[in-house]
């Protein structure tokens, strides 16, 4: 992926060093990894008030590089989605990316640095702890700069859902469902965000100089945070009815569908019988 020296987004708010407090409780070892990965791609941001994790929020030695990379990736999402919204006769309002370490307060609640990146629909912000990219490499085995771009593109995918009203409809519907039904709807929301990340990659290929190695990195990241992968790591067996984000196979397949078609209209995960 080509990103060094390219245009950076101006929609960046740097709150690093501005910690509102520290998280309570604690999870150890694999528990932290599972909590991080769960919160990483959640569309239901109320989970931020429920997960208690440890995390120092210590700055990464790579933060300067990560900040530039994130700002370039965000700029690419702005260009792609602005063009796509324009073609559909509407206007894209980009999200702001809030950089933090330690902990942060959003309109969706409090989060520690160990939660990792998340999108808050209440304030339309993407929140990013830059040190999380080190955790991706070391704990989740998701290496490479495009794996990191996939993380950002997925969260921006939730922003697209928010602008289109999809996120609000899903959250409203989940409130009157059983846990199993609500989980199924969450899976569909997450897979659509993966699809939108793929749509972005399709249209960003030339500007970002993407190649097959980059797409492979995204696939490896999607596989690493599949519900079945995480459940096996945490408890040794898989419970499909408890999925909230989708299996590794589903996440990879929907990302690739977005990448291959480049058409946002092909990502209706809510009307298809087979995910």
126 confidence band (pLDDT: 50, 70, 90): very high
Q: Residue 197: is its pLDDT beyond 50? A: yes
Say what the pLDDT of residue 85 is.
98
Q: Residue 73: is its pLDDT beyond 60? A: yes
Q: Which residue has the tokens 């249209």?
A: 203
What mean pLDDT is predicted for residues 80-99? 97
What gap in Å lies between CA 1 and CA 4, rounded to an integer?
Answer: 9
Strands (E), the chain: 12-14, 96-100, 103-106, 109-112, 118-120, 125-129
pTM: 0.83
What gap in Å lies between CA 109 and CA 118, rounded to an integer?
Answer: 11
What gap in Å lies between CA 83 and CA 264, rounded to an integer?
Answer: 12
User: Where do the domains of the chain lie?
Assistant: 12-266
């Amino acid at each position: 992926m080509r990103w060094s020296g390219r245009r950076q987004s101006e929609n960046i708010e740097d709150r690093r060093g501005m910690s509102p407090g520290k998280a309570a409780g604690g999870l150890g070892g694999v528990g932290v990894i599972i909590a991080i990965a769960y919160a990483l791609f959640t569309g239901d941001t109320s989970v931020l008030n429920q997960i208690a994790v440890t995390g120092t929020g210590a700055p990464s030695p790579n933060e300067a590089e990560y900040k530039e990379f994130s700002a370039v990736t965000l700029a690419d999402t702005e260009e792609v989605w602005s063009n796509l919204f324009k073609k559909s006769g509407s206007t894209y309002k980009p999200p702001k990316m809030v950089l933090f370490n330690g902990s942060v307060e959003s309109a969706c609640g409090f989060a520690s640095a160990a939660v990792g990146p998340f999108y808050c629909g209440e304030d339309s912000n993407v929140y990013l702890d830059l040190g999380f990219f080190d955790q991706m490499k070391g704990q989740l085995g998701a290496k490479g700069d495009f794996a990191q771009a996939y993380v950002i593109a997925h969260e921006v995918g939730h922003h697209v859902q928010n602008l289109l009203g999809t996120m609000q409809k899903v959250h409203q519907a989940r409130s009157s469902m059983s846990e199993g039904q609500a989980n199924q709807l969450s899976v569909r929301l997450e897979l659509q965000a993966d699809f939108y990340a793929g749509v972005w990659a399709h249209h960003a290929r030339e500007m970002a100089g993407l190649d097959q190695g980059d797409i492979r990195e995204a696939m490896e990241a999607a596989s690493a945070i599949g519900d079945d992968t995480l459940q096996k790591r945490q408890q040794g067996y898989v419970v499909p009815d408890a999925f909230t984000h989708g299996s590794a196979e589903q996440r990879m397949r929907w990302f690739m569908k977005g990448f291959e078609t480049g058409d946002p209209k092909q990502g209706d995960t809510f009307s298809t019988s087979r995910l």
